[in-house]
Chain A
Amino acid sequence: DGGITQSPKYLFRKEGQNVTLSCEQNLNHDAMYWYRQDPGQGLRLIYYSQIVNDFQKGDIAEGYSVSREKKESFPLTVTSAQKNPTAFYLCASSMLTDTGELFFGEGSRLTVL
């Protein structure tokens, strides 16, 4: 079955630690995205990538880093520089068309202890 897989689903981190969230898709989509979702707010774009070895900052990139070494994979690292990292993180992918709907992974809930 084609889809997009995120892991881990739940993650706990101590302050000062970096953590990496995995995102893999087998939909052959060119574009991949990372969003952060907080209660009462819309999804906020962290980073996105439209092609291998290239990515762009979104609205809230500070304290995060990404890589796109393979078309299928777009991991997100939450660094210790991110001041308020506790959130629900969503990875998505899409075709590069005007009507390209987003397909989302199941999400990763990060809690900083």
Chain B
Amino acid sequence: GQNIDQPTEMTATEGAIVQINCTYQTSGFNGLFWYQQHAGEAPTFLSYNVLDGLEEKGRFSSFLSRSKGYSYLLLKELQMKDSASYLCAVKDSNYQLIWGAGTKLIIKP
């Protein structure tokens, strides 16, 4: 079966750095997405990786290793507004998105 694993919950301090990991086992791979979802709201797109390596976008970076079935989202200079759930999703060989359950990130002052 297809599977996406993420930690259920993480806690970090305002101003610090946090890394949210995502491991996947899917039938084929056609890209990995990260989305941010605040409680009760819709997910919003953060990043897309299809080749190995690091993609940087402001305070957020996303890394992919296809050989290891592994990605991480790195958030720097954490702000209180970064408190949200972070969803990892992989496009499989049929270009269908497989979603992880999400990681709830709690930021403390």
B-binding segment of A11-19, A64-72, A95-103? A95-103
* B8 contact set on A, CB distance < 8 A: 40
Judging by beta carbons under 8 Å apart, are A104 and B43 in contact? yes
B101 with A40: CB separation less than 8 A:
yes
- B2 vs chain A, min Cβ distance (A): 10
Give the residue of B31, B43, B97, B98 whose beta carbon is less than 8 angstroms from that of A90.
B43
Q: Which of chain A's residues 74-113 have a Cβ closer than 8 Å to chain B?
A: 90, 98-99, 101-107, 109
Q: CA–CA, A103 to B40, complex, Å? A: 16
Which residues of A are at the interface with B, using a C-beta cutoff of 8 A?
Answer: 40-45, 90, 98-99, 101-107, 109
The bracket for how many chain B residues form the interface is 20 to 34
Chain B positions 45 through 71: 1 when the CB is less than 8 Å from some CB of chain A, otherwise 0: 100101000000000000000000000
Mask: chain B, 78-109; 1 = CB below 8 Å from A; 0 = not? 00000000010101000111111110000000
Residues of chain B contacted by A103 (CB below 8 angstroms): 45
Q: Is the CB of B31 within 8 A of A98?
A: yes
Please tell me if the beta carbons of A102 and B101 are within 8 angstroms of each other in the complex.
no
Distance in Å: Cβ of A90 to nearest Cβ of chain B: 6
In the bound complex, CA of A104 to CA of B45 (Å): 9
Q: A42-B87, A42-B101 are in contact. Are A98 and B45 (CB under 8 A)?
A: no
Q: Write out the residue numbers on chain A whose beta carbons fall within 8 Å of the beta carbon of B98.
A: 42
The answer on a CB contact under 8 Å between B101 and A45 is no
Chain B 23-45 near chain A by CB (<8 Å), digits 1 or 0: 00000001101010000111111
Residue contact B45 to A101, C-beta cutoff 8 Å: yes
- List B contacts of A45 (CB < 8 A): 96-97
A102 to B50 alpha-carbon distance, docked (Å): 16
